[in-house]
Structure 1
Amino acid sequence: MEFKKDIQKIIDYSIHFAETMLLDGKEYYPFAATINNKNELVPISYYEEGNEFPDSQIIIDFLSNNLHNELNNKKIKAFGITSDIKVKSFESEETVDAVMIDIYHLNSNEIPKYFFTYSWNSNDELVFGESFGIKR
């Protein structure tokens, strides 16, 4: 199924970019990636003139609204929005950091939200932990 390849492309790109940003500054603003009608991955970011530190939810809402519009108008085949969140770990009741990728595709309504937990070890190295998906 081709849509699974599109999803994997978005996940691979998003995890790699989030990891790069975390290693660089231990945080990142939400970002997106699309799969266009030529099957190419296109990174998408948000910039607001005069606002160096926008609220993450404003970015997520902006990306979501615009990319849903492009998807509904068949200008793109898929998109994923990646954000840095806190989730409850399945291994314990603690809240942990996670990279969340929320993916939408023209050919599937069954795509879960993907979570990739991470932490920093005693040597200040980034360590990815459990990953899981949760149905919408």
Structure 2
Amino acid sequence: MEIQKDIQNIIDYSHNFAEIMLNNGKEYYPFGAKIDNNGELIAVGYNDNETDFPESQKIINELTAEFEQELNNGRIRAYGLTYDVRVQTNSLKDKTDAILIDIYHRNSNDIPKYYFTYSWNEKNELVFGESFGMKK
């Protein structure tokens, strides 16, 4: 099934890249991945001509606009945006860091946002916790 394969490819790439960036520098800028009409995944970063340290929301907005235009024009069949968030994981309203992968596909309007929680242990190693999807 094309939709599930595209979603899994975006998740696999995005989670792996975010993990590498977290392990290398404990942070990362938002980034994207898109699936072209032939099913090939293409990694997409953002380059700001005005600053070396753009606001994350600006990157998310710019990548979203670019991807939406490509999706609406039929140049790609799916895309995903990946960025760091804080998410509530229990009834105590505790928040934790998470990788958020937000995927859109031309053939589905029912794809959840995927969250992969993480923390750092006492040895300063990246540890993944709960992962879940939430309806948009």
TM-score of the pair, normalised by structure 2: 0.97
Distance 1:25 1:57, change over 3 A: same
**Partner Cα distance (2:43, 2:59) in 1:** 14
Deviations 1:85-116 (A, max 9, x none): 10001375211000000000011000000000
Distance 1:124 1:57, change over 3 A: same
Instruction: Give the equivalent residue in structure 2 for 1:57.
Output: 57
**Stretch of structure 1 that moved more, 55-64 or 89-98:** 89-98
Aligned-residue RMSD, C-alpha: 1.0
**Partner Cα distance (1:20, 1:34) in 2:** 19
Instruction: Give the equivalent residue in structure 2 for 1:120.
Output: 120
Show structure 1 runs of 4+ deviating over 2 A.
90-93
**Stretch of structure 1 that moved more, 51-60 or 91-100:** 91-100
| AA aligned opposite 1:121 | N
Deviation at 1:50, TM superposition (A): 3.9
**Partner Cα distance (2:13, 2:91) in 1:** 27
The alignment covers a number of residue pairs equal to 136
TM-score of the pair, normalised by structure 1: 0.97
Deviation at 1:38, TM superposition (A): 1.1
Instruction: Give the equivalent residue in structure 1 for 2:75.
Output: 75
Instruction: Give the equivalent residue in structure 1 for 2:18.
Output: 18
What's the secondary structure of 2:46's corresponding residue?
Answer: coil
Q: Are 2:44 and 1:44 equivalent residues in the alignment?
A: yes
Instruction: Give the equivalent residue in structure 2 for 1:131.
Output: 131
| AA aligned opposite 1:39 | G
Instruction: Give the percent of matched residue pairs that are identical in Structure 1 and Structure 2.
Output: 56
Distance 1:130 1:92, change over 3 A: farther
**Partner Cα distance (1:52, 1:34) in 2:** 24
Structure 2 residues without counterparts, runs of 5 or longer: none
| AA aligned opposite 2:103 | I
What's the secondary structure of 1:70's corresponding residue?
Answer: helix
Structure 1 residues without counterparts, runs of 5 or longer: none
| AA aligned opposite 1:23 | N
